[in-house]
């Protein structure tokens, strides 16, 4: 039983302490990573250079007067060998009595190759670096339950090399995005996460309280309105990568806490940013092609179609058709809508049901005005906006537009959104008079966009669900908790 294994390991822990051995020493003497060791293996093995490594024991194999174990650190894995004629009976007995798979060990010795050609560290001295009390999944019950993989990601990383690689690439992808934007003259900035008025998207916020001021505040749903204040302040090309929070459901492509890139460029239009985002994503796909494989959409033409024409091709409906027809279609497609939703909002809910089948890359443009409260109206059709969404492999990756910089128009749209909120729309945008005041000082023609970093990583690494690219996704409490 698992409980018996834990009890036995605690017993070993206490015995070590009685012997005056600290099972959790503050310092160890690791000289090199295993990756560095393997890279220098030929010269170090010839010179009989003594080196000290440290890592986790992954497997132990006894063979006569010898014990082999696999030693792994964050960089790589190597085989280690304990020999009775080197360590003596006392040393061998000590290892067998107190060391288990999962323990961390400091091991000093020389490098050699076995008869089978296995690169190996012949251990001359060793000590406990950290005692493990729970058996690793592979050696006990396995970590096959998908939900448990997400809850205990630390074990998932230990047991699943593909998962480990995916998160390493996530870090590299974010670094590459920064490099791409910095080289193009963009400045990375930081804006508030705690906000007295949330805004920048149509979403339900998380509400909290600042006790010092007895003030209700919100976790940001987007950094947009603060970034636009910086454009008003004279900065022309800025971006932010950070956490945002939306009080919404948990599904394939939603997590209440997510990482968002938002970017703003003065004197640019929607079309400029459509070109920028296409170049950025192609750059990422090509940069990591060797490790992640070729993206099937990389060399495809990036199609552009209007929001209305796309929905018409799938539903047969136009935005000028009756609300009853749209409601009927939403019911057939099992799209979530509310009785006070406008036709445009119902159409958007239907799009969310349909986009999972879009391979793309597809730019949807010209979204309706009443679901785009921060975008400029189209000059040739004021019922629609200069907005775009990018969809690849069923994921909506990007939302962008030519930004509304008319303060009077913006105020009226906020008022309209506030009215929708009073009617029960929990995602309606609130009125932000402070932002209106900033716009009244003048904001140049500007284009902006948001890229869901988690979704982008999912597309580039071919992950099936968002939880596969978030180290610690939000999980429902266990039923037995």
Note whether 119 and 68 are within 8 A (CB). no
Q: Which pLDDT does position 407 carry in this prediction?
A: 96
Among candidate residues 206, 204, 203, 186, the one with its CA nearest the CA of residue 195: 206
Pairing of strands 395-402, 446-452: antiparallel
- What does the alpha-carbon distance between residue 344 and residue 265 come to, in Å, rounded to a whole number? 28
- In percent, the amount of the chain with pLDDT more than 90 equals 85
Task: List the alpha helices (DSSP H) in 400-465.
Answer: 407-422, 433-440, 453-461
3-state secondary structure of 235: coil
Task: Work out whether strand 104-113 and strand 77-83 pair parallel, antiparallel, or are unpaired.
Answer: unpaired
**In the prediction, which pLDDT does 141 show?**
47
Mean pLDDT score of the chain, rounded to an integer?
94
Residue 166: per-residue pLDDT: 95
Structural Rg of the chain based on CA atoms: 29
pLDDT at 140: 44
Share of the chain above pLDDT 70, in %: 98
In contact, 449 and 263? CB cutoff 8 Å: yes
239/177 Cα distance (integer angstroms): 11
Q: What is the mean pLDDT of residues 224-245?
A: 98
Greater confidence, 449 or 143? 449
CA distances from 57 to 28, 86, 116, 419 (A): 16, 20, 21, 62
Please report the pLDDT score of residue 388 as a whole number: 98
According to the model, what pLDDT value does residue 193 have?
98
**What are the pLDDT digits (tens) for 326-367?**
999 999 999 999 888 999 999 999 999 999 999 989 999 999
Where b means 16+ CB within 10 Å and e means fewer, 129-145 reads bebbbebbbeeeeebee
d(CA 412, CA 418): 10
Q: Which residues contact 81 (CB under 8 A, 6 or more apart)?
A: 66, 67, 68, 114, 120, 121, 122, 123
pLDDT confidence of residue 294: 77
Which helix (DSSP H) or strand (DSSP E) does residue 65 occupy?
none
The average pLDDT across 224-247 equals 98
Q: What's the pLDDT band for 148 if we cut at 50, 70, 90?
A: confident
pLDDT tens per residue across span 93-144: 999 999 999 999 999 999 999 999 999 999 999 999 999 999 988 644 445 6
> Which domains, and CATH codes, for the chain?
2-140 (2.40.50.140), 156-302+360-468 (3.30.930.10)
Per the document, the length of the chain is 481
pLDDT of 190 over the 90 cut:
yes
Residue 405 confidence (pLDDT) above 80: yes
Task: Kindly give the pairing relationship between strand 119-130 and strand 77-83.
Answer: parallel
pLDDT for 481: 52
The string of DSSP codes covering 176-205 is HHHHHHHHTT-EE----SEESS--SSS-PP
Identify whether 259 is preceded by a cis peptide bond (ω within 30 of 0). no
The pTM of this model reads 0.92
CA torsion through residues 74, 78, 79, 84, sign: negative
């Amino acid at each position: 039983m698992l409980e018996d294994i834990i009890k036995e390991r605690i017993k070993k822990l206490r015995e070590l302490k009685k012997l005056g051995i600290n099972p959790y020493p503050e310092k160890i003497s690791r000289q090199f990573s295993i990756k560095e060791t393997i890279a220098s293996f030929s010269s170090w093995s010839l010179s009989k250079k003594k080196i000290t490594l440290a890592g986790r024991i992954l497997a132990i194999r006894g063979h006569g007067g010898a014990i082999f174990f696999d030693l792994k650190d964050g960089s790589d894995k190597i085989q280690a060998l304990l020999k009775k004629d080197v360590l003596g009976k006392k040393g061998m007995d000590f290892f067998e009595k107190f060391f288990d798979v999962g323990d961390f060990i400091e091991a000093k010795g020389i490098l050699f190759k076995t008869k089978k050609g296995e690169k190996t560290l012949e251990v001359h001295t060793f000590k406990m670096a950290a005692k493990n009390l729970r058996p690793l999944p592979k050696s006990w019950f396995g970590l096959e339950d998908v939900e448990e993989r997400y809850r205990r990601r630390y074990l998932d990383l230990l047991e699943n090399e593909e998962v480990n690689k995916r998160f390493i690439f996530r870090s590299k992808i974010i670094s590459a995005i920064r490099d791409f934007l910095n080289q193009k003259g963009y400045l990375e900035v930081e804006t508030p996460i705690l906000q007295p008025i949330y805004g920048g998207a149509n979403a339900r916020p998380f509400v909290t309280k600042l006790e010092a001021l007895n003030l209700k505040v919100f976790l940001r749903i987007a950094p947009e309105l603060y970034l636009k204040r910086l454009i008003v302040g004279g900065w022309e090309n800025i971006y932010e990568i950070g956490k945002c929070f939306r009080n919404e459901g948990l599904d394939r492509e939603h997590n209440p806490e997510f990482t968002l890139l938002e970017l703003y460029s003065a004197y640019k239009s929607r079309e400029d940013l459509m070109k920028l985002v296409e170049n950025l994503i192609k750059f990422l796909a090509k940069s990591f092609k060797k490790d992640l494989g070729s993206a099937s959409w990389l060399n495809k033409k990036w199609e552009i179609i209007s929001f209305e024409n796309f929905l018409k091709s799938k539903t047969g409906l136009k935005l000028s058709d009756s609300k009853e027809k749209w409601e009927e279609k939403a019911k057939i497609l099992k799209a979530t809508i509310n009785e006070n939703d406008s036709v445009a909002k119902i159409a958007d809910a239907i799009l969310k049901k349909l986009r999972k089948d879009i391979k793309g890359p597809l730019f949807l443009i010209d979204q309706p005005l009443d679901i785009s409260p921060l975008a400029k109206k189209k000059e040739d059709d004021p019922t629609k906006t200069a907005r775009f969404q990018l969809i690849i492999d069923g994921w909506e990756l990007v939302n962008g537009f030519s930004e509304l910089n008319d303060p009077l128009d913006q105020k009226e749209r906020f008022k309209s959104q506030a009215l929708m909120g009073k009617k029960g729309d929990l995602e309606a945008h609130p009125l932000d008079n402070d932002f209106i005041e900033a716009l009244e000082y003048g904001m140049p023609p500007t284009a902006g966009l948001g890229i869901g970093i988690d979704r982008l990583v999912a597309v580039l690494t071919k992950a099936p669900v968002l939880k596969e690219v978030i180290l610690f996704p939000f999980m429902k409490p266990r039923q037995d908790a």
